[in-house]
Chain A
Amino acid sequence: MSTDTASVHASSAEQVGLPCSEDCLLRPGNTNCGGCGMSVGLTLLGRVLAAERRECQLAIPACCGIVTAGGYPTTSYGVPVVATTFASAPAYASGMARVRSLNGERHEVICWAGDGGTYDIGIATLSAAAERDEDLIYVCYDNEIYGNTGGQRSSATPAGALTTTTPGGKAEAKKDIMAIMAAHGVPYAATLSIAHPEDFERKIRTALEIRGTRFLLLHSPCPTGWKAEPGDSIQLVRLAVASGLFPLYEVWDGVRYRLNAEPDGTDPAEYFTLQKRFAPGEVDPQEARRVGAARFERLRALAAMQSG
């Protein structure tokens, strides 16, 4: 990166001793919230891309990810970024990726989108890109809420969560986007947790070795929306994995499943009590544990099917 802005950012990072080089995907100095899972996700993604010496271009729809860039003329991203219309990230990325391949270039085209842009308004576009098996990586950082509009329900919001548009708690269950994407038969789909960085980075490396549509779902804590302490963010998503609420797994071609972490019997009660979005008594942790366990058994059966 030879632009003045990039070198200014890089040198200021060095001055304050941050572990950052010009390869930074997310530069220091951004104004994201403390405890933001999306920011940690971008850092981990950038670390793998830098280690693998892979360039990328981002297509980002309306979401905190584009707010992250900051105000013109500076940007918090160290790579070319295109802001897309809310529903369009996979469409813009399809055009970018097709022309990339047409010209024999190797950079990855990555969609970086929130759950609103993925589960709701953008799902037709995402489904179509997956059906065409466009050669792109799609990362949904799922904070289970419309975050930068101040916390409204999306179809990724879990049952019982209070949002500004479900003031009495959401009645409906969270949509299973992984099952939807697996049903498209995409070459690779995987869930990511920032509490499991080695697993996260391994999955990015795996995705980089595969061509076609690769879908990654990141459980992304949002202290503002979840009404939780920023310092609890990583603990929260760790609890979600350990208690079976957010299973870590991979799916190849929609048929070959692999589970990456066994729930260890952790009681999900703490996951709920650490977040004020769940009103006391609104969510029965044991019911949540039962639902999580049933889903995990289903995944275990799917994983056994192709290995048996």
Chain B
Amino acid sequence: MGTELVTGNHAAGYALSAAGEANRFARGAACGIYPITPQTEIVEYVASFPFSKGEVVPVESEHSAMGVSIGASLAGARAFTASSSNGLAYMTENIMVAGFYRLPIVMVAVNRTLGPPWNIWADQGDTLFLRDFPWIQLYCQDNQEVLDTTLLAFRLAEDPRILLPVMVCMDAFILSHTQTATELPEQELVDRYLPPLDLPHRLRGDHPVTLGGLVWPAEAAYQRADVERAMARVPEVLAECRAAFEDVFGRPVGDALETWGTEDAATILVASSTVATTAREVVRRRREAGEKVGIVRVKMFRPFPERALRAACAGARRVGVLDRNYAAGVGGVFWQDTRAAFQGVPRGPLVQGYLTGLCGGDVTPETIAQVLDDLTRRRVAERPLWPGLEVAEEASA
């Protein structure tokens, strides 16, 4: 296929379809689909793909889209879907089931503001509010990464040591509707990267189990512990999936956590998705001017790579977290987890949260510069700040 100018949605649709097609010699591919701005083009792409062995079911709601994908996955097919914003909120009950049924479903989620108000622009609050479910969450910085990470997500999800669904996230419009040069792999390579799926617990007539029936407290708690053990294995398996990806496709795919200039930095920014790419450019300029600043991009939010984050920030005095999301009564979600990662670390860094680009607002180099100016002068951490907004402080709760 070579390199083409495609949107993030096109890249995601391409990857989902190719991954589904790659299972044609096993039990095929199947998914439930439902439209919502700004991901609709993904499910349109999937619906028009000429699967050799696949079923695309256009249903009446996101709740049922995940329901069909769950049923298909239980029957052994490679299953996937895509959604966004209020669609994810409506789908939530079945998102939880997919995780606790240990189904390797891949969902591309285009990050859009949860309404109200009606706002279709980028905000990560929609997927972050699903953070406590047994799903791996990966946040992408560009269209190539969306495509590559979606392919990788199937291999990671289907690994017998993991068997957890994966959410591949991208910013609304900034990626979903923006064309960039993207390498689209041949089907043959995708076939090589994604071996046929053989779900160990798929429904079989000769094995009459009841899945999801009543489980007493002690055994039910073990189920949670099993999920946690699988989560703990993710970094190791992710490394293998990334190495295999580079072997097959000849290019690397982003790690759980990426650092830039952190080795000698006294001040470090933590960011994700496209905000990280803007921040990286500002950091680069500051370093050229002699400032000891660095940046960490958190690509994998679940499981949270806290050990790698601590290592990356080992020499830092100050860490500033950029959150394009808002958790009521607390602040930013990435900030909460970053702060928690340094809990108990002797002489750990000051960790300040910044709420930037909420509800689709632009996060410009000027915004980042404002953050860095505040951060480098900071002696104590405060409640998360709203750079660019004039938000009157109430007495803290």
Contact = CB atoms under 8 A, between A and B. Distances in A.
A98 B301 CA distance: 34
Given A79-B205, A91-B68, A102 B60 contact: no
Given A57-B203, A98-B57, A75 B209 contact: yes
Contacts of A166: none
A71 B215 contact: yes
A88 B55 CA distance: 18
A80 B204 contact: yes
A152 to B, nearest CB: 20
Given A91-B68, A98-B57, A124-B61, A70 B214 contact: yes
B30 to A, nearest CB: 5
Given A95-B73, A99-B30, A102-B77, A85 B55 contact: no
Residue of B71, B77, B204, B207 most packed against chain A (CB within 10 A): B71
A162 to B, nearest CB: 29
A103 B27 contact: yes
A80 B72 contact: no
A83 B214 CA distance: 10
Contacts of A66: 210, 212-214
Interface in B153-209: 203-209
B216 interface: yes
Interface string A70-89: 11110101111111110110
A96 B205 contact: no
Interface string B60-74: 110110011111111
Interface stretch (A1-9, A153-161, A174-182, A291-299): A1-9
A81 B211 contact: yes
Nearest to A107: B205
Interface residues of B, number: 43
A102 B68 CA distance: 14
A283 interface: no
A229 interface: no
Given A70-B214, A85-B97, A95-B67, A6 B30 contact: no
Contact of B71 (A55, A72, A82, A127): A82
A222 to B, nearest CB: 20
Contacts of A67: 214
A126 to B, nearest CB: 10
Interface in A82-135: 82-85, 87-88, 90-100, 102-103, 107, 124-125, 127-128, 132
Contacts of B206: 1-3
Contacts of B55: 98-99, 102
A194 interface: no
Contacts of A103: 27-28, 75-76
B231 interface: no
20 contacts: A1-B207, A55-B205, A69-B213, A72-B214, A72-B219, A75-B209, A75-B213, A77-B208, A77-B210, A85-B94, A94-B59, A94-B71, A95-B32, A95-B73, A98-B55, A98-B71, A103-B27, A103-B28, A103-B76, A128-B61
Interface of B: 27-28, 30, 32, 53-55, 57, 59-61, 63-64, 67-77, 79, 93-94, 97, 203-216, 219
Given A80-B203, A102-B55, A124-B60, 18 more contacts: A1-B207, A66-B213, A71-B213, A71-B214, A71-B216, A75-B209, A75-B213, A83-B211, A84-B212, A85-B63, A88-B64, A91-B68, A95-B69, A97-B71, A103-B27, A125-B64, A128-B59, A132-B57
